[in-house]
Structure 1
Amino acid sequence: MKKHPERPVLITDAARSQDDQLRGRQIRYVSMMSVRAACLILGGILISAKVPLLPLWLSLCALGMVLLPWMAVLIANDRPPKTKEERAADAAAREDMRRTLIQPPPEPTHVTIDAEIVEEGPRRAG
């Protein structure tokens, strides 16, 4: 009799699909912008309630309203960090590009251009 239930076996190390990544970024963006809207509403409530330390609370709300859109856009446009394999592939591609740029250009092939010599006759005035 086993004491521990069997753990699922990891069958792939595949990254999340692009659609899943996009969905996660959209959720983070909407949640951050919702917090921004909450800061705006909270600021209005604080002004009408005239709470103690009002300037401190209003400055925190204003800071949230200013910084959250900027952070939300940065986070929404961010992609997951590259794996070791992706970094290695990028490094190999850069090395291949560097090698092709460093190699001397191939020797030019000499091209002979055939041309017919046309003798002109006397020009007519006219």
Structure 2
Amino acid sequence: MKKQPERPVLITNAARSQDDQLRSRQIRYVTMMSVRAGCLILGAVLISAKVPLLPLWLALCALGMVLLPWMAVLIANDRPPKSKEERAADRAAREDVQRALGRHDTPEPEFITIDSEVVDDPAEARRRPQ
């Protein structure tokens, strides 16, 4: 019997290298743009073949040709999601910065209230002693 090779043990929780991330984004981008080119070719073939429901198929091809470049750019520029450890480290760093700056709960300031009388008649206000 042939022994199955063991899977390598992960000894670090480091993120993938920037080169690996770039390569995977490039592959996704090229794949999506290839699908877009396929939509263009399929649309041309459908027009010449006179298939049933031609407007529906052409609309789907056109939608693919319009939406896929936009989605490809968004996906290609996106970084991989942060892991729980990265989010926890970011949160701890923000708390450290806040502690270092001394931003603690400060008491509400007391506001001064000035009372005044409302006088309906301006002439009466002039007659009153100040």
Same fold (TM over 0.5): yes
Is 1:40 paired with 2:40?
Answer: yes
Percent identity between the aligned chains? 75
Report the TM-score when normalising by structure 1.
0.71
**1:68–1:101 distance in 2 versus 1, CA, 3 Å:** farther
1:4 CA drift (Å) = 6.3
Structure 1 segments of 4+ aligned residues over 3 angstroms from their partners: 2-6
Give 2:103's aligned amino acid.
Answer: I
**Matching residue of 2:103:** 102
1:92 CA drift (Å) = 1.1
Q: Can you list the C-alpha shifts for 1:22-49, whole angstroms capped at 9, x where unaligned?
A: 0010011011001001101111111122
What is the root-mean-square deviation in Å for CA atoms of aligned residues? 2.2
Say which is worse superposed, 58-67 or 80-89, in terms of deviation: 80-89
**Matching residue of 1:24:** 24
1:98 CA drift (Å) = 2.2
Instruction: Specify every segment of 5 or more residues in structure 1 that has no aligned partner in the other structure, as ranges.
Output: 104-126
1:6 CA drift (Å) = 5.7
Instruction: Specify every segment of 5 or more residues in structure 2 that has no aligned partner in the other structure, as ranges.
Output: 105-130
Give 1:102's aligned amino acid.
Answer: R
